[in-house]
């Protein structure tokens, strides 16, 4: 199960290049249900995603390079390329009433900097262990709009836009 929120951001962190990152290329074979092929650095993955915006079923299957290239040729729409930075978020903030997490609790911000034709789009995604945590999460000040429930910010939708 994938439980995540998506945000646009106000500004890039000043020290962005200090964080680990991955080069990602992905395309969509189908969008209902979502069938995605992805190259992340030197790893190749086929992903099935169920319906939903905040919470949805997700299954990943390893591919080899040849299978990835074969499926990539069958994809619809644009191939999405982006650089993903993994930014630790220690001591995340949650709304009152949500149980305080352990002192060593940490989330990871996946900050995606998109290449053309989607540049200059930059989005942050944060995955959670429960729907309750996702709903109670207070985003950092450098996050902007919560776009979790806006279809136009989901990669599967973006890939089909011209």
150-156 LR contacts (CB < 8 Å, sep 24+): 151/53, 153/6, 153/8, 153/123, 154/6, 154/53, 155/26, 155/28, 155/36, 155/80, 156/28, 156/31, 156/34, 156/36, 156/49
At residue 9, φ and ψ (nearest 5 deg) are -125, 160
CA distance 76 to 10: 31
Which residues lie below 8 Å from residue 84, measured CB to CB, with a gap of 6+?
Answer: 21, 22, 23, 24, 40, 110, 111, 112, 113
- The two structure tokens encoding residue 122: 């930059």
The reply to whether 28 belongs to the active site is yes
The torsion angle over the Cα atoms of residues 66, 67, 71 and 72, rounded to 10 degrees, is -40
> Given 28, 68, 85, 153, which residue is catalytic?
28
Q: Which residues are catalytic?
A: 28
């Amino acid at each position: 199960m994938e439980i995540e929120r998506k945000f646009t951001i106000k500004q890039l962190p000043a020290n962005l290049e200090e964080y680990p990152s991955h080069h990602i290329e992905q395309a969509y074979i189908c969008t209902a249900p979502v069938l995605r092929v992805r190259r992340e650095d030197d790893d190749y993955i086929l992903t099935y995603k169920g319906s939903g915006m905040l919470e949805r079923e997700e299954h990943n299957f390893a591919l080899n390079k040849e299978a990835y290239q074969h499926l990539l040729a069958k994809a619809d729409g644009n191939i999405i390329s982006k650089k993903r930075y993994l930014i630790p978020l220690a001591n995340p903030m949650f709304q009152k009433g949500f149980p305080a997490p352990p002192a060593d609790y940490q989330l990871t911000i996946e900050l995606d900097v998109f290449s053309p034709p989607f540049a200059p789009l930059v989005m942050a995604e944060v995955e959670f262990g429960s729907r309750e945590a996702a709903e109670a999460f207070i985003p950092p000040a450098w996050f902007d709009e919560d776009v979790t429930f806006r279809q136009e910010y989901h990669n599967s939708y973006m890939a089909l836009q011209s």
